Amino acid sequence: MHEILTPQEMGKADSLAMQLGPFDGYGLMRNAGSAIAALVLERFPGCTQVDVLCGPGNNGGDGYVVARLLTQAGVAVRIWAEGTPRAGGDAALAAADCPITPLALAKFSPAAGTVVIDALYGAGLSKPLSETARRAAGAAAAQGVPVVAVDLPSGVSGQNGKPLGEAFSANLTVTFARKKPGHLLEPGRSLCGEVKVVDIGITDAVIEEIGARAYENLPELWLQEFPIADVDTYKYRRGHVGVFTGGPAATGAARLAAMAAARSGAGAVTVLSPTRSLTVNGAHLTSIMLRKADTMDEVLDFLEMRKPQTLVYGPGLGSEPEVGDFLLDLLGAIDGAPQSMVIDADGITSTALQAESFFAALHRVGAPAVVLTPHEGEFRRMFREISENPDLSKLDRARLAAARANAVVIYKGPDTVIASPDGRAAINSNGTPLLATAGSGDVLGGICAGLLAQAMPAFEAACAAVWLHGAAASHFGPGLIAEDLPEALRPALRDILARRKA
């Protein structure tokens, strides 16, 4: 159940499910209302008053079903309606079967102790709430009553998670069959509260027929590709990662990436250092190897002799144009080996002003599989036209960037999106504010490189790296700094490997 459906895809799933049976539209609506009513009774067992806010569409129809079932369960229920369901539609059938006479939404005023069911408008809403609905959202917030949203808090776009003006804020959101982008993209994720996906009779076969190519980033998405070391393996078979480092005052970022690559399973890691930084790097490295690399020839000699599977380029290198020039020259010299690269931080910023040349290098036959890891500012610099389009969701932007660059893009943030040039994309859901610390991104790049070096495909490696990054931070807890993250990976890796071997 890790697929994500856009509102348009969900509409297709509803239609196909009704065609295939056994439930018609009203049957699916009754199933939805029954699941919501059961959750309300479970989560709020002492509740004596429920206010159900019903819109004129199918979301409101779900609300009428909920109101009827809660009334039958002995709960005092009031319905506050905006608009009238279309005659002959499923919502009209639900309203006709409900014994409660609706009150005008304009008069809605929740009392203390009330639970509010927001069934006004769902994920397909494409315009701001009416003034009456906005006042209802404000009244619920002002009273501080718990809100249960049907499908999505009214006023939040299911497509991109953005509020269309004012919106409800829910404690619990109940959605059907699969999540939508608005459940996972901020600020929609925060406005949804806990999200519960319930089965209303839309089968997995129907979802498969829809052909969704967006997913929630859960281990099930990439677990079967996660590397397991063979019993007869040795360090270089487990993968060799090369990490470029910068000047003496900026070597820590590369060492963080190097340690993360080693912790994530790479059998050997080498830091490629300019002469002026050898001493400082040597003073800090033990199991990580160190090699002088002042010139392109020295780098190419390293590639020829040591044959690393993956390179990390960017952490701590500086944003000067020559850093980007060196990267373009390196990409032009690579012909099939190494197989992959992680380009992060200064590697992105330093090439942003020559983005077209950079993209051309990534599209070249023989170029490595590349993972780019931009945060919002770096993404804006590298993909300006895409970033400036207000009609695109973060999911859309990441997909377009991946296709433009011919690279897997990890578009970082509280709602990190991972996108592949082939159109697949995943939205991460285990991020934590603990990761908002200097050097955290360097560790993420190293984890990704370590997985790539073990022959994990680029999209799956990027998804796994993002998930492990969040899991490690959450396991460590408050007080986390970037230096803690490689060690904090251990319990997350143990859990994943146990699941992989099961």
Find the helix or strand (DSSP H, E) in which 205 lies. helix 204-210
Alpha helices in 74-130 (DSSP H): 90-97
User: Which residue reads 């498969």 in tokens?
Assistant: 208
Tell whether the model's pLDDT for residue 46 goes beyond 90: no
Find the helix or strand (DSSP H, E) in which 418 lies. strand 417-419
Positive or negative: CA dihedral 493, 337, 416, 400 = negative
Question: Coil, strand or helix: which one is 124?
Answer: coil
Rounded (10°) angle between helices 321-333 and 296-306 = 40
The pLDDT of residue 274 is: 98
The pLDDT of residue 412 is: 98
Label each residue of 45-84 as H, E or C: CCCCEEEEEECCCHHHHHHHHHHHHHHHCCCEEEEEECCC
Tell whether the model's pLDDT for residue 47 goes beyond 90: no
Task: Answer yes or no: CATH 3.40.1190.20 is held by domain 220-501.
Answer: yes
Per-residue pLDDT, averaged over 80-92, amounts to 97
Mean pLDDT, rounded, of the chain: 97
Q: What are the tens digits of pLDDT across the range 450-490?
A: 999 999 999 999 999 999 999 999 999 999 999 999 999 99
Share above pLDDT 70 across residues of the chain, in percent, rounded to a whole number: 100
Distance from C-alpha of 30 to C-alpha of 94, rounded to nearest angstrom: 8
Distance from C-alpha of 157 to C-alpha of 167, rounded to nearest angstrom: 10
The region that residue 493 occupies, defined by phi over 0 for left and psi between -120 and 50 for alpha, beta otherwise, is alpha
Label each residue of 250-315 as H, E or C: HCHHHHHHHHHHHHCCCCEEEEEECHHHHHHHHHHCCCCEEEECCCHHHHHHHHHHHCCCEEEECC
The pLDDT of residue 125 is: 87
Q: Which candidate, 248, 295, 302, places its Cα nearest to that of 270? A: 302
Per-residue pLDDT, averaged over 271-298, amounts to 97
Beta bridge partners of 176: 198
Which segments of 107-186 are extended strands (E)? 115-119, 147-150, 172-176
Domain with CATH 3.40.1190.20 in the chain: 220-501
pLDDT band at 166 (very low <50, low <70, confident <90, very high): very high
Q: What are the tens digits of pLDDT across the range 249-260?
A: 999 999 999 999
Per-residue pLDDT, averaged over 421-438, amounts to 97
> Cβ–Cβ contacts within 10 Å for residue 281, how many?
22
Pairing state of beta strands 214-217 and 425-428?
A: parallel
Q: What are the tens digits of pLDDT across the range 95-146?
A: 999 999 999 999 999 998 999 999 999 888 889 999 999 999 999 999 999 9
The pLDDT of residue 418 is: 99
Domain with CATH 3.40.50.10260 in the chain: 3-212
Cis amide leading into 338 (omega within 30): yes
Per-residue pLDDT, averaged over 158-175, amounts to 96
Distance from C-alpha of 320 to C-alpha of 314, rounded to nearest angstrom: 11
User: Which residue reads 């022959």 in tokens?
Assistant: 455
Q: What are the tens digits of pLDDT across the range 311-332?
A: 999 999 999 999 999 999 999 9
Give me 406's structure tokens. Answer: 């011919």
Distance from C-alpha of 341 to C-alpha of 310, rounded to nearest angstrom: 5
The pLDDT of residue 231 is: 87
CATH superfamily assigned to domain 3-212: YjeF N-terminal domain (3.40.50.10260)
Per-residue pLDDT, averaged over 71-87, amounts to 97
Tell whether the model's pLDDT for residue 48 goes beyond 90: no
Q: With beta carbons less than 8 A apart as the criterion, state whether 177 and 197 touch.
A: yes
pTM: 0.96
Distance from C-alpha of 216 to C-alpha of 198, rounded to nearest angstrom: 16
Distance from C-alpha of 313 to C-alpha of 345, rounded to nearest angstrom: 8
The pLDDT of residue 317 is: 97
Question: Coil, strand or helix: which one is 88?
Answer: coil
